[in-house]
Structure 1
Amino acid sequence: MKSIWSESYDIKDRGALNNSKEVEVLIIGGGIAGLLTAYMLKEKGVEAIVIDRGKVLKGNTINTTAKITIQHNIIYDKLIKEFGEENAKKYADANKLALENYEEIIKKNNIDCEFEKEDAYVYSLDDPKKIIKEYEAAMKLGIDAELVDKTELPFEVAKAVKFKNQANYNPVKFLNFIAKDLTIYENTKAIEVKENTVITDKGEIKAKHIVVATHFPIINVPGFYFLRMHQEREYVIALKNAQILNGMYIDEKDGGYSFRRYKDYLILGGAGGRTGDNEAGGSYDKLRNFAKKHYENSTEEYHWSAQDCITSDGIPFIGYYSKEMPNVYVATGFNKWGMTSSMVSAIIISGLITGKEYDFNEIFSPTRFDFTASIKNLAVDGFETTYNFIAEKVRLPLSTIENVNNGEADVIIHEGKKVGIYKTENGEVHTVSNKCPHLGCELKWNNDDLSWDCPCHGSRFDYKGSLLDSPSIKELKYEEE
């Protein structure tokens, strides 16, 4: 499994931290948010170090669909209703500035990253009223949008709203330039943050400012982000010999399809859901069946999946980590719109560090917490977490190692303990603990990605126990006592 952007990966290897350091700013996380923040600080003359537990850009950044757009599905009608027109406009203005920043950086530095202007559409198959309301909201906020009945999609839509002059690009080619002059330490895992010091597995780093850009924050308290977000996965295939669309498209419904072109490929996404809720698999098959029906002469060249943090009110958390940690900053909860949200993060956080604040800072502030706007989704997230803590603990596994087939996984009782078993196609057995090291939730098998996923907070591990996604900072091990 690799993304279409993997072919462009030309990021030079960096060594691990080999002694203690002292720096103005330390950024934990070498994805797009972390690298852009370091780049913008460097442009302002501020020294920053980036550390990553693995290799930079090997996480969710390389698995994006790379749409740079202020059109974030159905968002503006909701923001106006819940936060007011003024705050909704601040959200739009921040993302518009992010789009402009991309274009400015790319043109100024002549970066060859296939940056193209494209219109972005959100469509509905059966609810034109929802689309009309989003169009009306866009008009109130001064967004250049148009209501349409016809699209280039291979099926009829009830209605679509088009946001004009958005963009897409090759993110790895762009970030290869952004990263080239930055100070980066790879294979350096942050273990603990103590005031102005980050303790890693390779030494300590003292910093006046610390930025947590680890996708899902790795500090549980204060902040309590694990109570305020959940994670979802999305599946993608890249097709050749399919209809090449003009524009980028997304279904307003959960589980619908998204589309964009890249060169002569059609990138088709969708079939996603909450992390930890894919035991049966079949997400790639859903995309392949759609492609077979609508693009019968197409061939699949790549397939991959990505994960993102979903906040309770639909707005990212960008700014000070918490009131108790005034020197620590966070960028998380991008709600599947990581390209513009990462740039907004870099703008806000580099500004806070250098003494510049923007009118839109407050709408993204992690301390904004509006209980009335978030209560419904908080209740859903709370129920899911509680259910998975309790239901899995009382479920008695029935399988034994002998009746787990090759190419399958299950939870069994071994030596009086629940463990996760995966048998490869040739019968090799891999055994791990099925308890997440983060907060102890019991893991579920993901049959599409061959991984053990946490349904509570979204940590993921491969079948050998290696960490794939935060908030866990520990590997998944099974120690037979």
Structure 2
Amino acid sequence: MRESIWKDDLKLSNEKELLCDITTDVLIIGGGICGILCAYFLKEKGIDYILTEGERIATKTTLNTTAKITSQHGLIYTDILKKYGKESALKYLKVNEEAILKYKEICKNTDCDFEEKYSSVYTLGNIKKLEEELNTLNSLGFDAYFTKETELPFKVKGAINFKGQAQFNPAKFISQISKNLNIYENTYIKKISGNYAYTKNHKIKAKVIIVATHFPFINTHGMYFLKLYQERSYVSAFKTSTRLEGMYVDENDLGLSFRSYKDLILIGGNNHRTGKENSKWDKINSFKDKYYPDLELKFMWANQDCISLDNIPYIGLYSNNTPNLYVATGFNKWGMTSSMVSAMILTDMILGKKNEYQDVFSPQRKMYKPKLLVNGLESTINLISPATKRCSHLGCALKWNKKEHTWDCPCHGSRFDKDGKVINNPAKKNIDID
């Protein structure tokens, strides 16, 4: 039961491991949906590329998503408007809408249960925030609308809806679009030096390298260990005879999200910084007992997401000092559209084209200082905290997660199983439990 609803639908081709040194134009490191889409577009453009994945493709974050394809990333547009101005907010909206259209185009020939839906961000109390967001969207010329009526089993103060959004089965999608891609699985990249990437026994020479490894693993450039942290969230799927026509998420980060898939309703949420709290399925199940008492629990799983300091992904050059190294990370729990946006932007950049949206997502943009200070303080506290178990990434004190039986790092989100094996990066080395 404690596994993703999508797991059995991931039908991968025979795995191929890198067994020799190799040269390519573009190396993509990371076999989640972001890396897969980068490979898909590069192949379309006739670019020589390879993709490497340390395990099997799409078996981590991608397999644990709720797979909502939407440009409505909470109440983000007012936030972007205040921090970066109207032009940036409009570009963020336009490129995510283009990402939805690109999914729709690809899914026409892909059996992946793609369904057009409306998305809805609701509030239980803060109606002023919704009103402000709606005013922002109106100023951007976007056709969002306000309502107090939802399909949810509780009353809301209000909701903002986006038409023309979508949902799908990510495992079926990946299984099909990855079939003819040049992928090496069980090929773990230990380090990058210049134009070379090194596995345990072999090296790959590439003119360009894309790091799509969830949390970037190179610490000497880009300062991603200060610009990112990770959050865990939880999902339970219950059998039901009622299907939702919309996809719902609370404007409050601590609230719940809802979507349907076939005869199931997926209820997710209860986010928290990795290593700060134990698992929170109990809260979802308590909600179910109150509002859906007759539903049967069929699946339950957790996911882990990289969070940027300003809630905008980092897509582009890894750093100013690495002109042939690119990155895509910090998707802030909106990995489906953010992965497509990453693939579109990075493909253009690699082809030498100026993408009209790339500046909004540039990893070199000015950092949001309050969040930078908070994130730095969190890391400092955990670095100096006394502990018997320390993370192999940068040495932060690990916390025991008694619900999931893992050692979790509050600094950067690395996780280890009870025997010390790495589960989630950026840590690359196992830890000694004895």
Band of TM-score, shorter chain: over 0.9
- Whether the 8 Å contact between 1:70 and 1:96 is mirrored in structure 2 is yes
Residues 1:31 and 2:32 are matched in the alignment:
yes
Note the alpha carbon deviations across 1:298-340, whole angstroms, 9 max, x for none.
Answer: 0111001111111111100000101111001000000100000
Residues 1:443 and 2:398 are matched in the alignment:
yes
Which amino acid is the alignment partner of residue 382 of structure 2?
Answer: N
What's the counterpart of residue 75 of structure 1? Answer: 76
Residues 1:379 and 2:407 are matched in the alignment:
no
What's the counterpart of residue 177 of structure 1? Answer: 176
1:9, distance to aligned residue in structure 2 (A)? 1.2
Q: Structure 2 stretches of 5 or more lacking a match?
A: none
1:255, distance to aligned residue in structure 2 (A)? 1.3
- Whether the 8 Å contact between 2:130 and 2:159 is mirrored in structure 1 is yes
C-alpha separation in 2, matches of 1:388 and 1:148:
44
- Whether the 8 Å contact between 2:230 and 2:307 is mirrored in structure 1 is yes
What's the counterpart of residue 459 of structure 1? Answer: 414
1:244, distance to aligned residue in structure 2 (A)? 2.6
5 Å matches for 1:249-398?
249-279=248-278, 281=279, 283-370=280-367, 374-390=368-384, 392-393=385-386
Residues 1:165 and 2:159 are matched in the alignment:
no
Cα RMSD of the aligned pairs, angstroms, is: 1.2
C-alpha separation in 2, matches of 1:246 and 1:296:
21
Note the alpha carbon deviations across 1:30-80, whole angstroms, 9 max, x for none.
Answer: 000000000100000012111111111111000000000000001001111
Instruction: Count the aligned residue pairs.
Output: 433
For 1:4, what is the secondary structure of its paired residue?
A: coil
TM-score w.r.t. length of structure 1 = 0.88
- Whether the 8 Å contact between 1:437 and 1:474 is mirrored in structure 2 is yes
Residues 1:136 and 2:126 are matched in the alignment:
no
Which amino acid is the alignment partner of residue 73 of structure 1?
Answer: G
Greater radius of gyration (CA)? 1
Residues 1:114 and 2:108 are matched in the alignment:
no
- Whether the 8 Å contact between 1:277 and 1:446 is mirrored in structure 2 is no
| Bigger mean CA deviation after superposition, 48-57 or 209-218 | 48-57
- Whether the 8 Å contact between 2:242 and 2:263 is mirrored in structure 1 is no
C-alpha separation in 2, matches of 1:353 and 1:23:
13
C-alpha spacing 1:243/1:278, structure 2 compared with 1 (3 Å)? farther
C-alpha separation in 2, matches of 1:81 and 1:30:
35
Which amino acid is the alignment partner of residue 416 of structure 2?
Answer: F
Which amino acid is the alignment partner of residue 376 of structure 1?
Answer: P
- Whether the 8 Å contact between 1:188 and 1:202 is mirrored in structure 2 is no
What's the counterpart of residue 247 of structure 1? Answer: 246
Residues 1:8 and 2:5 are matched in the alignment:
no
Note the alpha carbon deviations across 1:197-249, whole angstroms, 9 max, x for none.
Answer: 00111310000010000000000111010101110000000110264322001
Q: Structure 1 stretches of 5 or more lacking a match?
A: 396-417, 419-433
For 1:34, what is the secondary structure of its paired residue?
A: helix
Residues 1:65 and 2:66 are matched in the alignment:
yes
Residues 1:476 and 2:424 are matched in the alignment:
no
For 1:322, what is the secondary structure of its paired residue?
A: coil
- Whether the 8 Å contact between 1:234 and 1:273 is mirrored in structure 2 is yes
